[in-house]
């Protein structure tokens, strides 16, 4: 495993795992969740199970950390647009190291859970951001497939979340006052028909309602969005450390494997 800094802040880094192979390999980007707050990290969040699973496959894994808002009170540590711009910078950093690390940038998957599902889906959809937005980058890395697990995909309905004020903190204020900011950060308004979207959500999720996934599918009007509903599964119960019944975790693994094009 190598640590790469994609920025000057201590939280602007990623862990790169690469198989022992001389050939170029696909890459999977992993983004952890935690309501965009700093009491979660890539080392402690359950997406570590995804990283561990991917290490058994013939792919590179780019596990991204990013600056996050403080866990209590106003968002002072990661004001708008810090979180989104960090993720964008972290994702695009692959273009800098791809040649030396023999990473095939024509085969890029991104996976995130919860707030990480929001960030992953947003990162895959950046081509749809308004050109006048501060978030727009005409040279952003193209992503083939995104897998959102329990993801926050519709920012206009904060009542779907167990902590609805987190959306306001993410967007830097009362989001209803800045519709452009909402639109350009909201996966449900940025769906790109060149990206394969795979949405996994438990129908017993009390932290991020399955309505988030259903809204995304409804807004897509497209065949490139596939929804997998996990019956009786809550927010974290697809991960093995939260559920002794591994059926849903095995399904997540199967979905990842089916959508990877490994050499």
Sheet containing 25-31: order of strands: 2-5, 13-17, 60-64, 25-31, 103-113, 145-149, 196-202, 225-230
CB 154 within 8 Å of CB 185? no
Token pair 């647009």 in the structure block, residue: 81
Q: How far apart are CA 16 and CA 54, in angstroms?
A: 12
User: What is the reported pLDDT for 223?
Assistant: 82
pLDDT at 261: 74
Question: Is the previous residue joined to 157 through a cis bond, with omega within 30 degrees of 0?
Answer: no
Residues of the chain with pLDDT under 70: 174-177, 262-263
Amino acid 130: pLDDT: 97
Residues 111, 30: Cα–Cα separation, whole Å: 5
What CATH code would you report for 2-258? 3.40.50.1820
CA 210, CA 121: separation in Å to the nearest integer? 16
pLDDT at 140: 96
Q: In this structure, are residues 60 and 19 in contact, taking their beta carbons and an 8 Å threshold?
A: yes
Model pTM?
0.97
Residue 100 is predicted with a pLDDT of 97
pLDDT digits 0-9 by tens, 77-92: 999 999 999 999 999 9
Model pLDDT, residue 177: 61
- pLDDT reported for residue 254: 97
DSSP string, 48-65: HHHHHHHTTSSSEEEEE-
Q: For residues 215 and 191, what is the distance between their CA atoms, to the nearest angstrom?
A: 12
Quote the pLDDT of residue 262. Answer: 66
């Amino acid at each position: 495993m190598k640590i790469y800094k994609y920025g000057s802040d201590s939280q602007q880094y990623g862990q790169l795992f690469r198989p022992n192979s001389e050939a170029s390999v696909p890459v999977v980007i992993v983004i952890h969740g935690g309501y965009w707050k700093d009491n979660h990290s890539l080392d402690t969040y359950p997406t570590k199970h995804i990283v561990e699973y991917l290490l058994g496959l013939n792919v590179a894994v780019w596990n991204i950390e990013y600056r996050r808002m403080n866990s209590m009170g106003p968002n002072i540590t990661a004001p708008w647009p810090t979180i989104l711009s960090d993720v964008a910078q972290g994702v695009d950093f692959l273009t800098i190291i791809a040649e030396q690390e023999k990473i095939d940038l024509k085969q890029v998957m991104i996976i995130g859970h919860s707030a990480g599902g929001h960030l992953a889906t947003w990162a895959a959809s950046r081509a749809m951001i308004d050109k006048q937005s501060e978030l727009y980058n005409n040279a952003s890395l193209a992503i083939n497939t995104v897998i959102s697990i329990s993801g926050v995909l519709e920012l206009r309905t904060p009542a779907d979340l167990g902590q609805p004020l987190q959306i306001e903190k993410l967007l830097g204020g009362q989001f209803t006052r800045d519709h452009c900011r909402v639109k350009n950060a909201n996966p449900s308004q940025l769906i790109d028909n060149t990206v394969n979207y795979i949405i996994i959500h438990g129908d017993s999720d009390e932290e991020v309602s399955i309505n988030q996934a259903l809204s995304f599918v409804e807004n897509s009007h497209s065949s490139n969005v596939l929804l997998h509903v996990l019956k009786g599964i809550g927010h974290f119960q697809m991960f093995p450390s939260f559920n002794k019944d591994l059926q849903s975790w095995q399904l997540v693994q199967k979905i990842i494997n089916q959508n990877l094009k490994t050499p």
